[in-house]
């Protein structure tokens, strides 16, 4: 009896998120009294074996096939499904990334089993009980799972990845799935690399603007402040809906999750769907005319006032001190 953990990699370099899944998976497997095994799909994956063993994988299944030239949801889903059947795995998990959730949904569809996405906690009794996230993290759901093979993903960032106290054996087991050429229809055909500097997701400083900014042009003041702080501009959905900024600037449940040292949120009311995208910020400074705004209540720091006066004053004060 085993728990199979899908680990993702890019030409041999493991995705950090996979180690979260493995860290979560090995303790789940231990509680359930089953073995924890990892699977990596596609060529070049063998270099990841040692790291997977260090994180608790007893076996590392290396799945390869001509069709598996690159990521493909159907090809990966079919491969994983065949492996689950072939080793008789009783549970399968992955980190709840775009790919992790996508592949597990394919596995569940093929096995005709439930799939519980984005769990933060699982108690593997006779029937498994779990806590999972809804609303992108604003709400939690306790659920039970009745299934032959348990298919569950672990919410991204819910676990801190750490090596196992007792490393796994890391026994390498090659696996060749039987794939019809048809599944190649959804394999990645091409990649476009956009050279970006600091991105919204990784910037140490984010200056966010909401409806209170009032217009597309109003963002110039926020750009200026972001510029002197070496940061980037973000925004709320009210702003993208108005066409003032591109969606790539949107912070929140259906936008980007940010985690800067400081988030300056100007003219943003702090709706829950915005907040889930901003709450990982180390510090938050709200600038709002309304002292009762939710963003002000939730922020560590606030300035009450018109952002069009406050933001330029901050930029000027920085310039003044820098001389």
Ligand X SMILES: Cc1cc2nc3c(=O)[nH]c(=O)nc-3n(C[C@H](O)[C@H](O)[C@H](O)COP(=O)(O)OP(=O)(O)OC[C@H]3O[C@@H](n4cnc5c(N)ncnc54)[C@H](O)[C@@H]3O)c2cc1C
Choosing from 189, 220, 227, 280, the residue that interacts with other proteins (CB under 8 A) is 189
Question: CA nearest 83: which of 16, 151, 155?
Answer: 151
Choosing from 44, 73, 163, 214, the residue that interacts with other proteins (CB under 8 A) is 73
Terminal-residue alpha carbon distance, the chain: 68
Does residue 290 interact with ligand X by CB under 6 A?
A: yes
Joined together, the tokens standing for residue 296 give: 């002000």
Question: Buried b / exposed e across 90-100, counting CB within 10 Å, b at 16+?
Answer: bbbbbbbbebb
Does residue 27 interact with other proteins by CB under 8 A?
A: no
Residues making up the chain, counted from first to last: 323
Please, what is the Cα angle at 304 between 298 and 308, to 5 degrees? Answer: 115
Binders of ligand X in range 267-286 (CB under 6 A): 267-269, 271, 273-274, 277
Q: How far is Cα 196 from Cα 187, in angstroms, rounded to an integer?
A: 25
The smaller minimum CB distance to other proteins, of residues 38 and 108, is found at 108
Token match 């952002």: residue?
Answer: 307
Choosing from 50, 188, 220, 280, the residue that interacts with other proteins (CB under 8 A) is 188
Sketch the per residue contact string, 26 through 45, with ligand X: x for CB under 6 A, - otherwise: --------------------
The smaller minimum CB distance to ligand X, of residues 14 and 284, is found at 284
The answer to whether residues 4 and 36 touch, using CB atoms and an 8 Å cutoff, is no
Q: How many residues bind other proteins (CB under 8 A)?
A: 95
The smaller minimum CB distance to other proteins, of residues 159 and 310, is found at 310
The answer to whether residues 57 and 118 touch, using CB atoms and an 8 Å cutoff, is no
Does residue 253 interact with ligand X by CB under 6 A?
A: yes
Question: Buried b / exposed e across 206-245, counting CB within 10 Å, b at 16+?
Answer: bbbbbbbbbeeebbebbebbbeebebbbbbbbbbbeeebb
Choosing from 173, 215, 247, 280, the residue that interacts with other proteins (CB under 8 A) is 247
The answer to whether residues 131 and 119 touch, using CB atoms and an 8 Å cutoff, is yes
Q: How many residues bind ligand X (CB under 6 A)?
A: 28
The smaller minimum CB distance to ligand X, of residues 72 and 277, is found at 277
Does residue 109 interact with other proteins by CB under 8 A?
A: yes
Binders of ligand X in range 170-209 (CB under 6 A): none
Binders of other proteins in range 249-308 (CB under 8 A): 250, 253-255, 261-262, 269-273, 282-283, 285-286, 291, 294, 296-306
Least distance to other proteins, CB of residue 63, Å: 20
Does residue 257 interact with ligand X by CB under 6 A?
A: no
Choosing from 56, 124, 177, 210, the residue that interacts with ligand X (CB under 6 A) is 210
Tell me the backbone φ, ψ of residue 194, rounded to 5 degrees: -105, 120
Binding-site ranges for ligand X (CB under 6 A): 210-212, 236-239, 250-255, 267-269, 271, 273-274, 277, 287-290, 293, 306-308
């Amino acid at each position: 009896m085993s728990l199979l953990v899908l680990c993702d990699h890019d030409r041999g370099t493991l995705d950090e998120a996979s180690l979260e899944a493995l860290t979560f998976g090995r303790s789940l497997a231990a509680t359930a009294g089953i073995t924890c095994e990892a699977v990596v799909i596609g060529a070049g994956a063998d270099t990841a074996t040692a790291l997977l063993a260090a994180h608790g994988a007893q076996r590392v299944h290396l799945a390869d096939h001509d069709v598996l030239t690159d990521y493909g949801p159907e090809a990966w889903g079919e491969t994983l499904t065949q492996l689950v059947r072939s080793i008789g795995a009783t549970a399968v998990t992955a980190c709840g990334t775009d790919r992790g959730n996508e592949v597990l949904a394919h596995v569940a569809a093929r096995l005709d089993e439930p799939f519980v996405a984005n769990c933060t906690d699982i108690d593997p009794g006779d029937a498994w009980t779990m806590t999972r996230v809804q609303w992108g993290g604003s709400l939690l759901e306790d659920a039970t799972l009745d299934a032959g093979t348990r298919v569950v993903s672990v919410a991204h960032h819910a676990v801190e990845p750490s090596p196992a106290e007792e490393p796994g054996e890391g026994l390498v087991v090659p696996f060749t799935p039987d794939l019809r050429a048809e599944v190649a229809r959804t394999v990645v055909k091409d990649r476009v690399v956009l050279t970006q500097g600091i991105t919204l997701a990784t910037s140490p400083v984010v200056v966010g603007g909401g409806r209170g900014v009032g217009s597309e042009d109003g963002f110039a003041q926020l750009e200026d402040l972001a510029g002197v702080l070496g940061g980037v501009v973000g925004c709320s959905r009210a702003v993208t809906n108005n066409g003032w900024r591109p969606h790539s600037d949107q912070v929140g449940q259906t936008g980007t999750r940010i985690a800067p040292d400081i988030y300056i949120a100007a003219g943003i009311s702090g709706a829950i769907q915005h907040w889930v995208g901003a709450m990982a910020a180390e510090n938050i400074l709200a600038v709002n005319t309304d002292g009762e705004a939710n963003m002000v209540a939730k922020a560590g720091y606030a300035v009450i006032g018109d952002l069009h006066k406050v933001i330029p004053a901050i930029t000027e004060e920085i310039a003044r001190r820098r001389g």
